[in-house]
Amino acid sequence: MKYIYNTDKDIKEMLDVIGVQSFEELIKAIPYDVRFKDDIGIGRPLSEQELLSEVSGLKNKNMICFNGGGVYDHYIPSVVDFLASRSEFYTSYTPYQAEVSQGTLQYLYEFQSMISALSGLGVSNASLYDGASSLAEACSMALNINQRKKVLLSSAINPAYLEVVKTYLSNRSIDVDVLGSVKGYTDIDSFKNRHDLEEVACIAIQSPNYYGLIENWKKWSKKVPKKMIFIAVSDPLSLSVLASPGSCGADIYCGEGQSLGVYMSMGGPFLGLLSSKKDYVRKMPGRIVGKTNDIDGKDAYVLTLQAREQHIRRNKASSNICTNQSLLALRAAIYMSLLGKAGLQKIAKISFSKSQYLANAISEINGYSIPYGNNFIKEFVVDSKRSVDEIIENAKNENISLSKLKNTNKNRFLIAVTEKRTRNEIDQLVSFLKKQ
Protein backbone atom coordinates (compact mmCIF):
# COMPACT_ATOMS: atom_id res chain seq x y z
CA MET A 1 0.00 0.00 0.00
CA LYS A 2 1.39 3.41 -0.94
CA TYR A 3 2.09 5.87 1.88
CA ILE A 4 0.42 9.27 1.51
CA TYR A 5 1.43 11.84 4.12
CA ASN A 6 -1.34 13.80 5.88
CA THR A 7 -0.58 17.52 6.17
CA ASP A 8 -1.74 19.60 9.15
CA LYS A 9 -4.46 21.00 6.89
CA ASP A 10 -5.61 17.47 5.95
CA ILE A 11 -5.76 16.46 9.60
CA LYS A 12 -7.75 19.57 10.58
CA GLU A 13 -10.28 18.97 7.78
CA MET A 14 -10.80 15.36 8.88
CA LEU A 15 -11.22 16.32 12.53
CA ASP A 16 -13.71 19.06 11.56
CA VAL A 17 -15.81 16.53 9.62
CA ILE A 18 -15.76 14.14 12.59
CA GLY A 19 -16.68 17.00 14.94
CA VAL A 20 -13.73 17.02 17.34
CA GLN A 21 -11.01 19.57 18.04
CA SER A 22 -7.99 17.28 18.28
CA PHE A 23 -6.74 13.73 17.85
CA GLU A 24 -6.61 13.38 21.64
CA GLU A 25 -10.32 14.18 21.82
CA LEU A 26 -10.97 11.60 19.10
CA ILE A 27 -9.40 8.78 21.12
CA LYS A 28 -10.53 9.88 24.59
CA ALA A 29 -12.65 6.72 24.92
CA ILE A 30 -9.42 4.70 25.12
CA PRO A 31 -8.17 4.72 28.75
CA TYR A 32 -4.87 6.53 29.07
CA ASP A 33 -3.23 3.72 31.03
CA VAL A 34 -3.65 1.20 28.17
CA ARG A 35 -2.23 3.48 25.47
CA PHE A 36 1.27 2.85 24.13
CA LYS A 37 3.48 5.69 25.35
CA ASP A 38 7.02 4.55 24.54
CA ASP A 39 9.05 5.33 21.46
CA ILE A 40 8.18 2.89 18.66
CA GLY A 41 11.87 2.62 17.88
CA ILE A 42 11.80 2.88 14.10
CA GLY A 43 14.43 5.61 14.03
CA ARG A 44 14.56 8.93 12.25
CA PRO A 45 13.23 9.49 8.71
CA LEU A 46 15.67 8.39 5.99
CA SER A 47 16.48 9.78 2.57
CA GLU A 48 15.92 7.52 -0.44
CA GLN A 49 19.63 6.69 -0.60
CA GLU A 50 19.78 5.88 3.12
CA LEU A 51 16.61 3.80 2.89
CA LEU A 52 17.96 1.71 0.00
CA SER A 53 21.15 1.08 1.95
CA GLU A 54 19.16 0.09 5.04
CA VAL A 55 16.93 -2.33 3.13
CA SER A 56 19.93 -3.87 1.35
CA GLY A 57 21.50 -4.55 4.72
CA LEU A 58 18.33 -6.26 5.93
CA LYS A 59 18.19 -8.34 2.76
CA ASN A 60 21.67 -9.69 3.42
CA LYS A 61 20.39 -11.19 6.66
CA ASN A 62 18.05 -13.51 4.75
CA MET A 63 18.81 -17.19 5.22
CA ILE A 64 19.68 -19.49 2.32
CA CYS A 65 16.55 -21.60 2.02
CA PHE A 66 16.90 -25.36 1.49
CA ASN A 67 13.57 -26.10 3.17
CA GLY A 68 11.30 -28.71 1.66
CA GLY A 69 7.99 -30.22 2.66
CA GLY A 70 5.56 -28.59 0.27
CA VAL A 71 6.60 -24.91 0.27
CA TYR A 72 9.44 -23.91 -2.04
CA ASP A 73 11.66 -20.88 -2.61
CA HIS A 74 11.22 -20.37 -6.36
CA TYR A 75 12.08 -17.17 -8.20
CA ILE A 76 9.08 -14.95 -8.99
CA PRO A 77 9.45 -12.54 -11.94
CA SER A 78 8.74 -8.91 -11.03
CA VAL A 79 5.97 -8.67 -13.63
CA VAL A 80 3.87 -11.04 -11.48
CA ASP A 81 3.95 -8.56 -8.59
CA PHE A 82 3.39 -5.60 -10.89
CA LEU A 83 0.30 -6.97 -12.64
CA ALA A 84 -1.24 -8.68 -9.61
CA SER A 85 -0.97 -5.47 -7.56
CA ARG A 86 -2.93 -3.37 -10.05
CA SER A 87 -6.00 -1.86 -8.42
CA GLU A 88 -8.31 -3.64 -10.88
CA PHE A 89 -7.28 -6.91 -9.21
CA TYR A 90 -5.83 -6.03 -5.81
CA THR A 91 -9.01 -4.95 -4.10
CA SER A 92 -11.19 -5.89 -1.15
CA TYR A 93 -14.26 -5.69 -3.38
CA THR A 94 -16.21 -8.93 -3.60
CA PRO A 95 -18.04 -9.29 -6.94
CA TYR A 96 -21.41 -10.55 -5.71
CA GLN A 97 -22.71 -9.94 -9.22
CA ALA A 98 -19.87 -12.02 -10.62
CA GLU A 99 -20.69 -11.55 -14.30
CA VAL A 100 -20.18 -7.78 -13.97
CA SER A 101 -16.47 -8.48 -13.35
CA GLN A 102 -15.64 -10.00 -16.72
CA GLY A 103 -11.90 -9.43 -16.26
CA THR A 104 -11.85 -11.39 -13.02
CA LEU A 105 -13.82 -14.24 -14.52
CA GLN A 106 -11.61 -14.32 -17.61
CA TYR A 107 -8.35 -14.70 -15.69
CA LEU A 108 -9.94 -17.40 -13.52
CA TYR A 109 -11.08 -19.18 -16.69
CA GLU A 110 -7.54 -18.98 -18.09
CA PHE A 111 -6.17 -20.25 -14.77
CA GLN A 112 -8.54 -23.23 -14.88
CA SER A 113 -7.54 -23.97 -18.47
CA MET A 114 -3.83 -24.00 -17.62
CA ILE A 115 -4.30 -26.24 -14.58
CA SER A 116 -6.35 -28.63 -16.73
CA ALA A 117 -3.53 -28.68 -19.29
CA LEU A 118 -0.95 -29.48 -16.59
CA SER A 119 -3.09 -32.16 -14.98
CA GLY A 120 -4.32 -33.72 -18.22
CA LEU A 121 -7.89 -33.72 -16.91
CA GLY A 122 -10.99 -32.16 -18.43
CA VAL A 123 -12.13 -29.66 -15.83
CA SER A 124 -10.60 -27.57 -13.03
CA ASN A 125 -12.16 -25.30 -10.46
CA ALA A 126 -11.19 -21.71 -9.70
CA SER A 127 -8.92 -22.79 -6.79
CA LEU A 128 -9.26 -23.79 -3.13
CA TYR A 129 -7.51 -22.71 0.07
CA ASP A 130 -4.30 -24.76 -0.19
CA GLY A 131 -2.91 -28.17 -1.10
CA ALA A 132 -4.06 -29.81 2.12
CA SER A 133 -7.67 -28.65 1.84
CA SER A 134 -7.62 -29.58 -1.86
CA LEU A 135 -6.81 -33.18 -0.94
CA ALA A 136 -9.53 -33.15 1.71
CA GLU A 137 -12.04 -31.79 -0.81
CA ALA A 138 -10.90 -34.38 -3.38
CA CYS A 139 -11.59 -37.16 -0.86
CA SER A 140 -15.02 -35.67 -0.07
CA MET A 141 -15.69 -35.47 -3.79
CA ALA A 142 -14.84 -39.18 -4.19
CA LEU A 143 -17.12 -40.09 -1.27
CA ASN A 144 -19.96 -38.20 -2.96
CA ILE A 145 -19.30 -39.94 -6.28
CA ASN A 146 -19.46 -43.57 -5.18
CA GLN A 147 -21.14 -43.26 -1.75
CA ARG A 148 -18.59 -45.48 -0.02
CA LYS A 149 -17.30 -45.08 3.53
CA LYS A 150 -13.53 -45.60 3.43
CA VAL A 151 -10.61 -43.48 2.27
CA LEU A 152 -7.07 -44.75 1.64
CA LEU A 153 -4.12 -42.36 1.84
CA SER A 154 -0.47 -43.06 1.17
CA SER A 155 1.80 -42.57 4.18
CA ALA A 156 4.20 -40.89 1.73
CA ILE A 157 1.79 -37.95 1.42
CA ASN A 158 2.78 -34.76 3.25
CA PRO A 159 1.93 -35.42 6.95
CA ALA A 160 0.21 -32.04 7.26
CA TYR A 161 -2.12 -33.02 4.40
CA LEU A 162 -2.97 -36.30 6.14
CA GLU A 163 -3.93 -34.46 9.33
CA VAL A 164 -6.18 -32.02 7.44
CA VAL A 165 -7.99 -34.87 5.65
CA LYS A 166 -8.59 -36.66 8.94
CA THR A 167 -9.94 -33.44 10.45
CA TYR A 168 -12.25 -32.80 7.48
CA LEU A 169 -13.73 -36.30 7.61
CA SER A 170 -13.75 -36.79 11.40
CA ASN A 171 -17.48 -36.09 11.80
CA ARG A 172 -18.71 -37.99 8.74
CA SER A 173 -18.38 -41.58 10.00
CA ILE A 174 -15.67 -42.19 7.41
CA ASP A 175 -12.76 -44.60 7.98
CA VAL A 176 -9.45 -43.05 6.95
CA ASP A 177 -6.69 -45.64 6.55
CA VAL A 178 -3.05 -44.88 5.81
CA LEU A 179 -1.05 -47.25 3.60
CA GLY A 180 2.51 -47.89 4.71
CA SER A 181 5.58 -47.23 2.62
CA VAL A 182 8.62 -49.31 1.67
CA LYS A 183 11.93 -47.54 1.04
CA GLY A 184 10.10 -44.25 0.61
CA TYR A 185 7.44 -45.51 -1.84
CA THR A 186 3.81 -46.36 -1.12
CA ASP A 187 3.47 -50.11 -0.46
CA ILE A 188 1.51 -51.41 -3.45
CA ASP A 189 1.59 -55.02 -2.22
CA SER A 190 -0.26 -54.15 1.00
CA PHE A 191 -2.86 -52.41 -1.16
CA LYS A 192 -3.35 -55.42 -3.44
CA ASN A 193 -3.72 -57.76 -0.46
CA ARG A 194 -6.52 -55.79 1.20
CA HIS A 195 -9.90 -57.53 1.44
CA ASP A 196 -11.99 -54.36 1.73
CA LEU A 197 -11.30 -52.68 -1.62
CA GLU A 198 -14.99 -52.79 -2.60
CA GLU A 199 -15.70 -50.53 0.39
CA VAL A 200 -12.98 -47.97 -0.42
CA ALA A 201 -14.10 -44.72 -2.07
CA CYS A 202 -10.66 -43.51 -3.14
CA ILE A 203 -6.93 -43.86 -2.85
CA ALA A 204 -4.57 -40.87 -2.92
CA ILE A 205 -0.94 -41.12 -4.06
CA GLN A 206 1.44 -38.15 -4.05
CA SER A 207 4.20 -37.87 -6.66
CA PRO A 208 6.77 -36.52 -6.09
CA ASN A 209 5.85 -37.67 -2.60
CA TYR A 210 6.78 -36.20 0.78
CA TYR A 211 10.23 -37.76 0.47
CA GLY A 212 10.68 -36.23 -2.98
CA LEU A 213 10.42 -39.60 -4.76
CA ILE A 214 8.55 -40.09 -8.03
CA GLU A 215 5.79 -42.68 -7.58
CA ASN A 216 4.58 -44.82 -10.49
CA TRP A 217 1.05 -43.51 -11.08
CA LYS A 218 0.53 -45.71 -14.16
CA LYS A 219 1.33 -48.83 -12.17
CA TRP A 220 -1.04 -47.74 -9.43
CA SER A 221 -3.89 -46.91 -11.81
CA LYS A 222 -3.78 -50.46 -13.16
CA LYS A 223 -4.24 -51.84 -9.65
CA VAL A 224 -7.06 -49.50 -8.61
CA PRO A 225 -10.49 -51.18 -9.03
CA LYS A 226 -12.85 -49.59 -11.55
CA LYS A 227 -15.27 -47.94 -9.12
CA MET A 228 -12.56 -46.64 -6.78
CA ILE A 229 -11.48 -43.04 -7.41
CA PHE A 230 -7.75 -42.58 -8.00
CA ILE A 231 -6.50 -39.23 -6.65
CA ALA A 232 -3.10 -37.96 -7.80
CA VAL A 233 -1.40 -35.34 -5.61
CA SER A 234 1.49 -33.34 -7.03
CA ASP A 235 3.46 -30.10 -7.14
CA PRO A 236 2.33 -28.46 -10.43
CA LEU A 237 5.86 -27.50 -11.51
CA SER A 238 6.78 -31.18 -11.50
CA LEU A 239 3.97 -31.87 -13.96
CA SER A 240 5.83 -29.84 -16.59
CA VAL A 241 8.33 -32.71 -16.91
CA LEU A 242 6.38 -35.73 -15.60
CA ALA A 243 3.52 -37.56 -17.27
CA SER A 244 0.25 -35.84 -16.34
CA PRO A 245 -2.12 -37.42 -13.80
CA GLY A 246 -4.78 -37.75 -16.50
CA SER A 247 -2.47 -39.64 -18.86
CA CYS A 248 -1.56 -41.97 -15.99
CA GLY A 249 -5.19 -42.89 -15.28
CA ALA A 250 -6.00 -40.57 -12.38
CA ASP A 251 -9.61 -39.51 -11.85
CA ILE A 252 -8.83 -36.43 -9.73
CA TYR A 253 -5.75 -34.25 -9.39
CA CYS A 254 -5.05 -31.96 -6.44
CA GLY A 255 -2.02 -30.04 -5.30
CA GLU A 256 -0.45 -26.94 -3.81
CA GLY A 257 0.02 -24.08 -6.28
CA GLN A 258 2.47 -22.06 -4.17
CA SER A 259 5.33 -22.84 -6.57
CA LEU A 260 3.46 -20.99 -9.35
CA GLY A 261 4.36 -17.41 -8.49
CA VAL A 262 3.25 -17.31 -4.85
CA TYR A 263 5.65 -16.26 -2.09
CA MET A 264 6.43 -18.53 0.86
CA SER A 265 5.04 -15.82 3.16
CA MET A 266 5.87 -17.53 6.47
CA GLY A 267 3.45 -20.34 5.62
CA GLY A 268 0.55 -18.82 3.71
CA PRO A 269 -1.84 -17.89 2.23
CA PHE A 270 -1.45 -20.55 -0.45
CA LEU A 271 -3.29 -21.86 -3.49
CA GLY A 272 -5.24 -25.11 -3.71
CA LEU A 273 -5.53 -26.82 -7.10
CA LEU A 274 -8.21 -29.32 -8.12
CA SER A 275 -8.98 -30.99 -11.46
CA SER A 276 -11.02 -34.01 -12.45
CA LYS A 277 -12.51 -35.91 -15.34
CA LYS A 278 -15.48 -34.11 -16.88
CA ASP A 279 -17.74 -36.95 -15.75
CA TYR A 280 -17.39 -35.73 -12.17
CA VAL A 281 -17.86 -32.00 -12.73
CA ARG A 282 -21.19 -31.89 -10.87
CA LYS A 283 -19.49 -33.32 -7.78
CA MET A 284 -16.62 -30.82 -7.89
CA PRO A 285 -16.35 -28.35 -4.98
CA GLY A 286 -15.84 -24.61 -5.29
CA ARG A 287 -16.31 -22.05 -8.03
CA ILE A 288 -16.16 -23.00 -11.71
CA VAL A 289 -15.93 -20.33 -14.41
CA GLY A 290 -17.39 -21.16 -17.82
CA LYS A 291 -17.16 -19.46 -21.20
CA THR A 292 -20.19 -18.66 -23.37
CA ASN A 293 -21.48 -15.96 -25.75
CA ASP A 294 -23.59 -12.92 -24.93
CA ILE A 295 -26.58 -11.72 -26.99
CA ASP A 296 -24.19 -9.94 -29.35
CA GLY A 297 -22.19 -13.10 -29.97
CA LYS A 298 -19.16 -11.90 -28.00
CA ASP A 299 -17.22 -14.05 -25.54
CA ALA A 300 -18.63 -13.89 -22.02
CA TYR A 301 -17.59 -15.56 -18.78
CA VAL A 302 -19.95 -16.83 -16.09
CA LEU A 303 -19.94 -18.78 -12.85
CA THR A 304 -21.45 -22.05 -13.99
CA LEU A 305 -23.07 -25.13 -12.42
CA GLN A 306 -23.75 -23.18 -9.23
CA ALA A 307 -26.42 -25.62 -8.06
CA ARG A 308 -23.47 -27.68 -6.71
CA GLU A 309 -22.59 -24.92 -4.26
CA GLN A 310 -23.74 -24.35 -0.69
CA HIS A 311 -25.05 -20.82 -1.27
CA ILE A 312 -27.66 -22.31 -3.66
CA ARG A 313 -28.62 -25.62 -2.04
CA ARG A 314 -26.77 -25.94 1.25
CA ASN A 315 -28.23 -29.31 2.22
CA LYS A 316 -27.32 -30.88 -1.14
CA ALA A 317 -24.07 -29.04 -1.84
CA SER A 318 -20.99 -30.95 -2.99
CA SER A 319 -18.94 -28.94 -0.48
CA ASN A 320 -19.31 -26.17 2.09
CA ILE A 321 -16.53 -24.09 0.58
CA CYS A 322 -17.93 -20.88 -0.88
CA THR A 323 -14.83 -18.98 -1.89
CA ASN A 324 -11.49 -19.34 -3.65
CA GLN A 325 -7.98 -17.90 -3.67
CA SER A 326 -8.69 -15.52 -6.53
CA LEU A 327 -5.70 -13.18 -6.16
CA LEU A 328 -3.26 -16.08 -5.86
CA ALA A 329 -4.90 -17.81 -8.82
CA LEU A 330 -4.25 -14.60 -10.75
CA ARG A 331 -0.58 -14.71 -9.73
CA ALA A 332 -0.36 -18.32 -10.88
CA ALA A 333 -2.05 -17.49 -14.20
CA ILE A 334 0.37 -14.61 -14.83
CA TYR A 335 3.34 -16.78 -13.84
CA MET A 336 2.34 -19.68 -16.12
CA SER A 337 1.48 -17.35 -19.02
CA LEU A 338 4.81 -15.58 -18.67
CA LEU A 339 6.95 -18.72 -18.57
CA GLY A 340 4.94 -20.95 -20.87
CA LYS A 341 5.48 -24.68 -21.25
CA ALA A 342 9.18 -24.37 -22.09
CA GLY A 343 9.84 -22.01 -19.18
CA LEU A 344 8.17 -24.27 -16.62
CA GLN A 345 10.14 -27.23 -17.95
CA LYS A 346 13.37 -25.25 -17.75
CA ILE A 347 12.77 -24.41 -14.07
CA ALA A 348 12.04 -28.06 -13.26
CA LYS A 349 15.15 -29.23 -15.12
CA ILE A 350 17.43 -26.67 -13.45
CA SER A 351 16.04 -27.66 -10.04
CA PHE A 352 16.62 -31.32 -10.93
CA SER A 353 20.21 -30.71 -12.00
CA LYS A 354 21.10 -28.68 -8.90
CA SER A 355 19.42 -31.08 -6.48
CA GLN A 356 21.20 -34.07 -8.04
CA TYR A 357 24.52 -32.25 -7.73
CA LEU A 358 23.90 -31.54 -4.05
CA ALA A 359 22.69 -35.07 -3.28
CA ASN A 360 25.78 -36.59 -4.88
CA ALA A 361 28.04 -34.21 -2.95
CA ILE A 362 26.34 -34.99 0.38
CA SER A 363 26.52 -38.75 -0.22
CA GLU A 364 30.32 -38.45 -0.34
CA ILE A 365 30.51 -36.83 3.12
CA ASN A 366 31.34 -39.21 5.95
CA GLY A 367 28.32 -39.72 8.20
CA TYR A 368 25.67 -38.80 5.61
CA SER A 369 23.72 -40.80 3.04
CA ILE A 370 20.79 -40.47 0.64
CA PRO A 371 18.62 -43.39 1.87
CA TYR A 372 16.05 -43.42 -0.92
CA GLY A 373 18.29 -42.92 -3.94
CA ASN A 374 18.19 -40.28 -6.67
CA ASN A 375 14.69 -40.75 -8.16
CA PHE A 376 13.63 -37.17 -7.40
CA ILE A 377 13.21 -33.80 -9.12
CA LYS A 378 14.12 -31.16 -6.53
CA GLU A 379 13.69 -32.63 -3.07
CA PHE A 380 15.34 -35.49 -1.19
CA VAL A 381 15.91 -37.01 2.24
CA VAL A 382 19.31 -36.98 3.94
CA ASP A 383 20.23 -39.52 6.62
CA SER A 384 22.75 -38.44 9.25
CA LYS A 385 24.67 -40.18 12.03
CA ARG A 386 24.62 -36.88 13.89
CA SER A 387 21.72 -35.21 15.70
CA VAL A 388 19.49 -33.53 13.12
CA ASP A 389 18.27 -31.01 15.68
CA GLU A 390 21.85 -29.90 16.28
CA ILE A 391 22.59 -29.75 12.55
CA ILE A 392 19.54 -27.57 11.88
CA GLU A 393 20.35 -25.29 14.82
CA ASN A 394 24.01 -24.95 13.80
CA ALA A 395 22.98 -24.25 10.21
CA LYS A 396 21.17 -21.12 11.37
CA ASN A 397 24.51 -19.68 12.49
CA GLU A 398 25.69 -20.06 8.89
CA ASN A 399 22.50 -18.40 7.54
CA ILE A 400 21.30 -21.75 6.17
CA SER A 401 17.72 -22.92 6.69
CA LEU A 402 17.01 -26.68 6.78
CA SER A 403 13.85 -28.62 7.64
CA LYS A 404 13.49 -31.78 9.72
CA LEU A 405 11.75 -34.81 8.28
CA LYS A 406 8.45 -35.28 10.10
CA ASN A 407 7.00 -38.55 11.42
CA THR A 408 10.33 -40.31 11.90
CA ASN A 409 12.52 -41.19 14.85
CA LYS A 410 15.61 -41.30 12.68
CA ASN A 411 18.13 -38.51 12.20
CA ARG A 412 16.85 -37.40 8.83
CA PHE A 413 16.18 -34.06 7.24
CA LEU A 414 14.57 -32.90 4.03
CA ILE A 415 16.34 -30.75 1.45
CA ALA A 416 14.81 -28.93 -1.52
CA VAL A 417 16.89 -27.23 -4.21
CA THR A 418 15.16 -24.81 -6.57
CA GLU A 419 16.47 -22.81 -9.51
CA LYS A 420 17.18 -19.93 -7.10
CA ARG A 421 20.01 -21.71 -5.31
CA THR A 422 23.42 -20.77 -6.70
CA ARG A 423 26.42 -23.08 -7.01
CA ASN A 424 28.11 -21.05 -4.28
CA GLU A 425 25.16 -21.50 -1.90
CA ILE A 426 25.03 -25.24 -2.58
CA ASP A 427 28.77 -25.59 -1.97
CA GLN A 428 28.35 -23.54 1.22
CA LEU A 429 25.86 -26.12 2.52
CA VAL A 430 28.21 -28.98 1.60
CA SER A 431 31.09 -27.28 3.43
CA PHE A 432 28.89 -26.75 6.48
CA LEU A 433 27.85 -30.42 6.62
CA LYS A 434 31.46 -31.55 6.34
CA LYS A 435 32.26 -29.62 9.53
CA GLN A 436 29.43 -31.17 11.55
- Indicate the residue among 335, 358, 375 that finishes a domain: 335
Pairing of strands 175-179, 379-384: unpaired
* pLDDT over 60 at 68, yes or no: yes
Query: Does residue 318 surpass a pLDDT of 80?
Result: no
Please report whether residue 141 resides in a domain. yes
Number of structural domains the chain divides into: 3
At 94 the pLDDT is 65
Residue 2 lies in a domain: no
Residue 3 lies in a domain: no
Pick 52 or 381 by higher pLDDT.
Answer: 381
Please indicate, yes or no, whether residues 143 and 251 belong to a single structural domain of this protein. yes
The reply to whether 248 and 200 lie within a common domain is: yes
**Separation between Cα atoms, residue 38 and residue 41, nearest integer Å:** 8
pLDDT at residue 1 is higher than 60? no
Residues 177 and 308 in one domain: yes
> Domain range for residue 399?
64-76+340-435
**Torsion angle, alpha carbons of 417, 421, 424, 430, to 10:** -20
pLDDT band for position 2 (cuts 50, 70, 90): low
pLDDT of residue 313: 72
* Nearest residue to 332 (alpha-carbon basis) of 132, 111, 130, 124: 111
Q: What is the pLDDT of residue 30?
A: 95
What's the pLDDT band for 347 if we cut at 50, 70, 90?
A: very high
Share of the chain above pLDDT 90, in %: 81
With a cut of 60, say whether residue 321 has pLDDT above it: yes
Q: pLDDT tens digits, residue range 297-310?
A: 999 999 998 877 77
Query: Is 82 found in the same domain as 71?
Result: no
pLDDT given at position 59: 81
Q: How far apart are CA 430 and CA 395, in angstroms?
A: 11
Q: Is 263 found in the same domain as 190?
A: yes
In a domain, 417, yes or no: yes
pTM of the entire predicted model = 0.88
- Contacts with 363 (C-beta within 8 Å, 6 or more apart), sequence order: 369, 370
CATH of the domain at 99: 3.40.640.10
Task: Compute the average pLDDT of residues 14-23.
Answer: 94
Tens-place pLDDT, residues 361-396:
999 999 999 999 999 999 999 999 999 999 999 999
pLDDT band at 280 (very low <50, low <70, confident <90, very high): very high
Percent of residues, the chain, with pLDDT higher than 70? 98
